[in-house]
Structure 1
Amino acid sequence: MAETIAELKLAVRSLHPLDAEHARKFRKELGEDIEGSAAALAHLLKAEGEQVRFIEALFDLSPFMRDSVRRRPQTLEALFDLSVEERLAQLRAELERVGFAETEKDVMRLLRQLKAQAHFLIALDDIANNVEPQVTVERLSDLASACVNATVNFLLREAHGRGKIALPDESQPGRGSGWIVLAMGKLGARELNFSSDIDLISFLDPDAPAILDRMEAGDLFSKLTQRMMRILQDRTEHGYVFRTDLRLRPDPGSTPLCIPVGAALVYYESRGQNWERAAMIKACAIAGDIKAGEAFLRELQPYVWRKYLDYAAIADVHSIKRQIHAHKGHGAVAVKGHNVKLGRGGIREIEFFVQTQQLIAGGRVPELRGKKTVEVLAELEKRKWIDADTRDEMTAAYWFLRKVENAIQMVNDEQTHLMPTDDEGVERIARLVGETDFVSRFTTILQTVEKHYAELFETAPSLSSGIGNLVFTGDEDDPDTLNTLASLGFKRPSDIARIIRVWHFGRYRSTRSAEARERLTELTPALLKAFGETRRADEAVLRLDSLLQGLPAGIQLFSLLHSNPGLLQLLATIMGSAPRLADIVTKRPHVFDGLLDPAILSELPDRDYLASRLEAFLGNAPIYEERLNRLRIFAAEQKFLIGIRLLTGTIDGARAGAAFSDLADLTIGTALEAVIEEMETRHGRVRGSAIALLCMGKLGSRELSAGSDVDLILLYDHDPEADESDGEKPLASSQYFARLTQRLIAAVSAPTAEGVLYEIDLRLRPSGNKGPVATHIDSFRRYQASEAWTWEHMALTRARAIAGDLEFCAKVEADVRKIVSAKHDAAKVRADAAEMRALLEEEKPAKNRWDLKLAKGGLIDLEFIAQVARLTAKVPAATETTSTVEILSQLQGGAATPQMADELAAAHRLYTGISQMIALCLTGPLDPDDIPPGLADRLLAVGDAPDMAVLEAQIDEAMTMVRDGFEKLVGAVLRP
Structure 2
Amino acid sequence: MADQVKQTGKELKDVREGVVRPISQAEARAVTSLLKEAGQREPEIAALMAGESPLRRFVVAALTLSPYLRDMTAADPKPLAMALSTPLETLVEQGIRDARESWRGVDGGPAPTEGEVMTRLRIAKRRVSYIVALADLARLFSARETTRWLSLLADASVAAAIDHLLLAGHEAGKVRLKNLDAPSEGSGVVVLGMGKLGAYELNYSSDIDLVVFFEPLADLLPDPDDGTEILGRMMRRLVRIMQERTGDGYVFRTDLRLRPDPGSTPLAIPVDAALLYYEGRGQNWERAAFIKARPIAGDLEAGESFLKELTPFVFRKYLDYAAIADIHSIKRQIHVHKGHGAIAVKGHNVKLGRGGIREIEFFAQTQQLIAGGRMPPLRVRATEDALAALAAAGWIDAATRDELTDCYWFLRDVEHRIQMVRDEQTHILPETESELKRIAFMLGFADAAGFARRLEDVLRTVEQRYANLFEQESRLSAGDGNLVFTGQKDDPGTLETLRRLGFKRPEDMSRVIRTWHNGRYRATRSVEARERLTELTPELLRVFGESRQADDALLRFDSFLAGLPAGIQLFSLLGNNPALLALLVNIMSAAPRLADTIARRPHVFDGMLDPGLMAELPTRDYLAGRLGAFLGGASHYEDVLDRLRIFAAEQRFLIGIRLLTGAIGGTAAARAFTHLADLVIAAAFDAVLTEMREAHGDIPGGRVAVMGMGKLGSFELTAGSDVDLILLYDHDDAAQESTGAKPLDPGRYFTRITQRLIAALSAPTAEGVLYDVDMRLRPSGNKGPVATRIRAFTKYQREEAWTWEHMALTRARIVCGDGSLKAEAEGVISGILAHPRDRAKVSADVIEMRGLIEKEKPPRDLWDFKLIPGGLIDIEFIAQYLALTTPEKQAERGASTAEALKFYGEGRMGAEELETCLAALALYGELSQIVRLCLDGPFEPKEAPSGLIDLLCAAADMPTLKALEAELTRVSKSVRRIFQAFVK
Q: CA 1:14 to 1:810, structure 2 compared with 1: closer, same or farther past 3 Å?
A: farther
Aligned counterpart in structure 2 of residue 337 of structure 1, from 329, 334, 347: 347
Q: Which runs of 5+ in 2 are unaligned?
A: 1-10, 105-110
Partner of 1:258: 268
Contact 1:530 1:568 in 2 (8 A): no
- TM-superposed CA distance for 1:213, in Å, is 1.7
Q: 1:492 matched to which residue of 2?
A: 505
**Distance in 2 of aligned mates of 1:438 and 1:601:** 64
2:602 equivalent to 1:589: yes
Preserved CA contact (<8 Å) 2:191 2:213? yes
Task: Tell me whether 1:221 sits opposite 2:225 in the alignment.
Answer: no
Could you tell me whether the CA contact under 8 Å between 1:178 and 1:211 is conserved in 2?
no
* SS, match of residue 943 in structure 2: coil
Change (3 A) 1:132 1:787: same
Q: TM-score, normalised by structure 2?
A: 0.93
Letter of the structure 1 residue corresponding to residue 153 of structure 2: L
Opposite residue 386 of structure 2, the aligned amino acid is: V
SS of the residue corresponding to residue 181 of structure 1 reads strand
Who is 1:348 aligned against? 358
Q: How do residues 200-279 of structure 1 correspond to structure 2 at under 5 angstroms?
A: 200-279=210-289
* Contact 1:201–1:248 (8 Å) recurs in 2: yes
Distance 1:676 1:794, change over 3 A: same
**Is residue 927 of structure 2 the alignment partner of residue 917 of structure 1?**
no
CA contact (8 A) 1:165 1:210 kept: yes
- SS of the residue 1:627 aligns to: helix
Counterpart of 2:733 in structure 1: which amino acid?
A: P
Out of 805, 818, 824, the residue aligned to residue 792 of structure 1 is: 805
**Higher deviation after alignment, 721-730 or 148-157:** 721-730
Alpha carbons 2:347, 2:428 under 8 Å: kept: yes
| CA distance 1:307–1:892, change in 2 (3 Å) | closer
Q: Contact 2:44 / 2:85 at 8 angstroms: preserved in 1? A: no
Identity, % of aligned pairs? 55
Alpha-carbon distance, 1:800 to partner: 1.2
- Partner residue of 1:670 out of 683, 686, 711: 683
Q: Match of 1:730, as an amino acid?
A: P
Q: 2:409 aligns with which of 385, 388, 399?
A: 399
Deviation at 1:631, TM superposition (A): 1.5
Output the CA distance in 1 between the equivalents of 2:243 and 2:869.
66
- Quick one: which amino acid aligns to residue 169 of structure 1? N
Once the two structures are superposed, what CA deviation does each residue of 1:405-427 show, in whole Å capped at 9, x if it has no partner? 22222222222222334444443
Which residue, out of 51, 56, 59, partners 2:60?
56
CA contact under 8 A between 2:482 and 2:497: conserved in structure 1? yes
Structure 1 residues 732-786: Cα deviation after superposition (integer angstroms, max 9, x where no partner): 2222222222221122111111111111111211122222222111111111111
Work out the CA distance in 2 between the residues paired with 1:405 and 1:788.
88
Post-superposition shift, 1:595?
0.7
CA contact (8 A) 1:881 1:887 kept: no
Distance 1:26 1:503, change over 3 A: same
Matched, 1:812 2:812: no
Partner of 1:70: 74
Question: Which 10-residue stretch deviates more, 500-509 or 908-917?
Answer: 908-917
Which residue is equivalent to 1:89?
93
Whole-Å Cα distance in 1 between the matches of residues 529 and 17 of structure 2? Answer: 56
What residue in structure 2 maps to residue 974 of structure 1?
none
Structure 2 partner of 1:857: 870
Residue 12 of structure 1 deviates from its aligned partner by 4.7
Query: Are residues 366 and 911 of structure 1, via their aligned partners in 2, closer, same or farther at CA, if it must alter by over 3 Å?
Result: same
- Secondary structure of the residue aligned to 2:424 is coil
Partner of 1:160: 170
CA contact (8 A) 1:17 1:23 kept: no
What do you get for the CA RMSD once the two structures are aligned? Answer: 2.6
1:824 paired to 2:837? yes
The corresponding residue for 2:377 is 367
Match of 1:199 in 2: 209
Residues 518-546 of structure 1, C-alpha deviations (whole Å, 9 max, x = no match): 11111111111121122322222211111
Q: Which amino acid aligns with 1:752?
A: T
Distance 1:538 1:33 in 2: 60
* Amino acid corresponding to residue 264 of structure 2 in structure 1: S
Q: Which region of structure 1 is more displaced relative to structure 2, 117-126 or 434-443?
A: 434-443
Confirm or deny: 8 A CA contact 1:561 1:567 kept in the other structure: yes
Q: 1:909 to 1:157 in 2, by over 3 A?
A: same
Assess if the C-alpha contact under 8 Å between 2:735 and 2:746 holds in 1. Answer: yes
| Residues 961, 238 of structure 1: alpha-carbon distance in 2 compared, 3 angstrom cutoff | farther
Give SS of 1:417's match: coil
From 101, 104, 120, the counterpart of 2:114:
104
Query: What do residues 797-819 of structure 1 show as CA deviations (whole Å, max 9, x unaligned)?
Result: 21111111234223322322222
Which of 346-355 and 476-485 deviates more? 476-485
Matched, 1:377 2:387: yes
List per-residue Cα deviations over 1:403-449 (Å, max 9, x = no partner): 12222222222222223344444433332223463333322322322
Q: 1:857-887 CA distances to partner (integer Å, 9 max, x unpaired)? A: 3322332333233223399655755422333
Distance 1:941 1:576 in 2: 16
Match of 2:184 in 1: 174
Q: Mean alpha-carbon deviation: is it higher for 454-463 or for 295-304?
A: 454-463
- 486-495 vs 743-752, greater mean Cα deviation: 486-495
Aligned length: 965
Aligned match of 1:708:
721
C-alpha separation in 2, matches of 1:578 and 1:919 = 9
Match of residue 117, structure 1, among 97, 105, 127: 127
Q: Distance in 1 between matches of 2:15 and 2:488?
A: 41
Deviation at 1:274, TM superposition (A): 2.5
**CA distance in structure 2 between the partners assigned to 1:51 and 1:817 by the alignment:** 114
User: Helix, strand or coil: the match of 2:716?
Assistant: coil
Preserved CA contact (<8 Å) 1:13 1:129 = no
**Structure 1 equivalent of residue 976 of structure 2:** 963
- Cα distance in 2 for partners of 1:875, 1:560 equals 59
Q: SS of 2:101's equivalent?
A: helix
Q: In 2, distance between residues paired with 1:625 and 1:12? A: 90
AA partner of residue 102 (structure 1): P
Contiguous gaps of at least 5 residues in structure 1:
1-6, 972-976
- Matches of residues 518-557 of structure 1 in structure 2 within 5 Å? 518-557=531-570
1:829 shift after superposition: 3.0
CA distance in 1, matches of 2:699, 2:584: 51
What CA distance in whole angstroms lies between the structure 2 residues aligned with 1:192 and 1:19?
Answer: 27
CA contact (8 A) 1:16 1:431 kept: yes
Per-residue Cα deviation, 1:196-249 (whole angstroms, up to 9, x for no partner): 221111112111232112122221101111121122223334333222211111
* 1:189 partner letter: A
- Displacement of 1:10: 5.8
Q: Does 1:629 align with 2:642?
A: yes
Kept after mapping to 1: 8 A contact 2:15/2:54: no
Say which is worse superposed, 925-934 or 131-140, in terms of deviation.
Answer: 925-934
Q: Aligned-pair distance for 1:501?
A: 2.0
TM-score, normalization by structure 1: 0.94
- The alpha-carbon deviation at position 263 of structure 1 amounts to 0.7
1:357 pairs with 360, 363, 367, which one? Answer: 367
Q: Taking structure 1 as reference, are residues 192 and 681 closer, same or farther at Cα in structure 2, changes over 3 Å only?
A: same
The residue matched to 1:300 in structure 2 has which SS?
A: helix
Kindly indicate whether the alpha-carbon contact (under 8 Å) linking 2:193 and 2:208 is maintained by their aligned counterparts in 1: yes
Cα separation, 1, equivalents of 2:329 and 2:944 = 38
Q: Structure 1 residues 511-520 or 338-347, which shifts more?
A: 338-347
Q: Counterpart amino acid of 2:26?
A: H
Change in 2 beyond 3 A, CA 1:719/1:874: closer
Question: What does residue 3 of structure 1 align with?
Answer: none
Q: Does 1:513 align with 2:523?
A: no
| 1:408-487 to 2 correspondences below 5 Å | 408-435=418-445, 437-458=450-471, 464=477, 467-487=480-500
**How many angstroms apart in 2 are the aligned matches of 1:889 and 1:272?**
66
Question: Which stretch of structure 1 is more off in the superposition, 14-23 or 540-549?
Answer: 14-23
Residue number in structure 1 paired with 2:3: none
The match for 1:687 among 694, 700, 707 is 700
In the alignment, residue 509 of structure 2 is paired with which amino acid?
I
Mean alpha-carbon deviation: is it higher for 119-128 or for 463-472? 463-472
> Which position in structure 1 is the counterpart of 2:147?
137
Which residue in 2 is equivalent to 1:941? 954
* Cα 1:338/1:457, change in 2 over 3 Å: same
**Partners of 1:686 and 1:733 within 8 A in 2:** yes
Distance 1:359 1:731, change over 3 A: same
Distance 2:861 2:843 in 1: 26
